[in-house]
Amino acid sequence: MTAPAIELKGISKAFGPVQANKDISLSVQPGTIHGIIGENGAGKSTLMSILYGFYKADAGEIFIRGNKTQIPDSQAAIAAGIGMVFQHFKLVENFTVLENIILGAEDGALLTPSLAKARRLLKELADDYGLNVDPDALVETLSVGYQQRIEILKALYRQADILILDEPTGVLTPAEADQLFRILGRLREEGKTIILITHKLREIMEITDTVSVMRRGQMTATVKTAETSPTELAELMVGRKVLLRVDKTPAEPGAPVLEVENLRVTDKKGVERVKGINFEVRAGEILGIAGVAGNGQSELLEVLGGYQEGQGTIRVNGTDIDLTGRHSDGQSRRLRGISHVPEDRQREGLIMDFMAWENTAFGYHKDAAYTSGLLTNNIGIRQDTAEKMERFDVRPPNPKLAAKNFSGGNQQKIVLAREIERNPDLLLIGQPTRGVDIGAIEFIHQQIVALRDQGKAILLVSVELDEILSLSDRIAVMFDGHIMGERLPSETNEQELGLLMAGVEPGKEGTAA
């Protein structure tokens, strides 16, 4: 039997008091796709960063192809034949594909020979692996899927035969993800070893040969993919039985709460991001907006939330709301019964340095309940926060702890508690479970459904198709600022939605827009 491509023995790494990796051993066979799955904060990224030389392990040994190897920095990792494709691409947007590929790997002071050599090699790589890209295209003109290919090519150009991909499908449409998986399959055939880090069970089941599960810094299991199931993996990840489905009764929609007519939004750079969309959300239903990130969903939420200007008509409970930004802001929206759980809780929804109780008052800090005379009622807010934390099972239930010291799931619960307990008519909720562990996802989904069952209107924006399909009563798909179509979850599937997300009208030729 050949030596494992990668073998880790007893890797440990602590950040301050946090033990990110604890005595981890892992063996990856050459020519296989090895999945590493785990919740956020389980230590997947730390482990890969150690392998790529970003962090130095406190203890443990690394063997590459049977040889004990020190990896003090990423240069050493590249020399050992390890390539890494990051979740956030490290490309120079206004360079060409070719320039990006040789960046940092130029031979000699003159660029021309390097470029010529790269062009030749790129041709070979494209032929070998079916990774076709135009070497002279500017990166900024390419789609996200193509940009990812360049990252893979960059690694291959540096002669990597072990490729690590960190959450590679987070930014891709389902079709692009399929393409990526085909490429990975081809690389495996050519004898490359691939480590795929993800939190999506579906991807693990689809493409990997073996899968390792991480929980709280430890490697809890390594199993053959063919011999496991999503339920078993989820259980291994969380450490208890998890409900992967959302339990809900059919919706009983009432009167329209939110009506959007011909809404257009232009961003600061003058680019039109929302191009005349129409939809409505009724009381007691969840409208899910599906789409790949960056197709106008964020701007839609910002306009509805009152901190982005727009043109068109938005009615809430039958009354027009101001879209010019002159007479309205986030606070006036709240007074109209609109609560908003923003997409990026760490940037918008919370102030990370503020304590939990300050974050609970955030946005509602002028409310009568939270003030007494000219002053804020700090004691009252703290009490209220303690109660909310109790009801939403925020851990630890300490109102005086700064938001940054809570886990992602608990941060999201703080935001949800603040917004849902306002008893809004309309709840805007963006990426409710991004960066949230599976255990908390279950709870958050239950809360959203419970609010719907109280007869509230809910607009859900998510890039996770699974989430859209399981929560929504109706689904609208956004692509390039348009709504490509509306579907009922019972009458559609991932393939159809995936096509709509890519701007293709199913059953029609060519692409729209």
Contacts to other proteins by CB under 8 A: 14, 16-19, 305-307, 329-334, 340, 342, 344, 347-354, 358, 361-363, 365-366, 371, 374-376, 378
Phi and psi at 58, nearest 5°, equal -70, -30
We find the least distance from the C-beta atom of residue 13 to other proteins, in angstroms, to be 13
Phi/psi region, residue 296 (left: phi>0; alpha: psi -120 to 50; beta: rest), is left
How many residues make up the chain in this entry? Answer: 513
Which one, 45 or 298, has the nearer CB to other proteins? Answer: 298
CB of 339 to other proteins, least distance (A): 12
**Which C-beta is closer to other proteins: that of 405 or that of 511?**
405
Residues 309, 303: contact at Cβ < 8 Å? yes
How many CB atoms neighbour CB 72 within 10 A? 9
Residue found under tokens 């009381």? 283
Cβ atoms within 10 Å, residue 226: 9
Residue closer to other proteins by CB (options 123, 366) is 366
How far apart are the C-alpha atoms of 300 and 267, rounded to whole Å? 11
Helices and strands, number each (H, E), in the chain: 16, 22
CB of 424 to other proteins, least distance (A): 15
Q: How far is the CB of 481 from other proteins (least distance, A)?
A: 21
Tokens representing residue 390 in the block:
């109790």
The closest of 173, 140, 411, 407 to 293, measured between CA atoms, is 173
Note the Cα 382 to chain centre separation in Å: 32
Comparing CA positions, the residue from 417, 449, 412, 419 lying closest to residue 434 is 412
> Least distance (Å) from other proteins to the CB of residue 363?
4
- What are the respective helix, strand and coil percentages of the chain, to the nearest 5? 35, 25, 40
Contacts for 65-68: CB closer than 8 Å, 24+ residues apart:
65/3, 65/4, 65/5, 65/30, 66/3, 66/4, 66/7
Based on CB atoms, which residue is closest to other proteins, 264 or 333? Answer: 333
Measured from the CB of residue 213, what is the shortest distance to other proteins in angstroms?
21
Decide: 111 and 118 in contact? Cβ < 8 Å.
no
35, 210 contact by CB (below 8 A): yes
Query: What is d(CA 179, CA 20) in angstroms, rounded to the nearest whole number?
Result: 33
Q: Give the shortest CB-429-to-other proteins separation in angstroms.
A: 13
Give the nearer residue to other proteins in terms of CB position, either 39 or 348: 348
Nearest residue (CB) to other proteins, 14 versus 115: 14
Q: Which is nearer to other proteins, 184 or 428 (CB)?
A: 428
**Cβ proximity to other proteins, 12 vs 311, nearer residue:** 12
Amino acid at 213: V
Chain-centre distance of CA 471, in angstroms? Answer: 17
Q: Which is nearer to other proteins, 171 or 361 (CB)?
A: 361
Report angle CA 82, 155, 42 to the nearest 5 degrees.
Answer: 55
Pick between residue 37 and residue 350 the one whose CB is nearest to other proteins: 350
Q: How far is the CB of 431 from other proteins (least distance, A)?
A: 14
In angstroms, what is the minimal distance from the CB of 302 to other proteins?
8
Least distance between other proteins and beta carbon 10 (Å): 13
Smallest separation (angstroms) from other proteins to the CB of 239: 17
Three-state SS string over 130-198 comes to CCCCCCCCEHHHCCHHHHHHHHHHHHHHCCCCEEEEECCCCCCCHHHHHHHHHHHHHHHHCCCEEEEEE
Cβ nearer to other proteins, comparing 43 with 498: 43
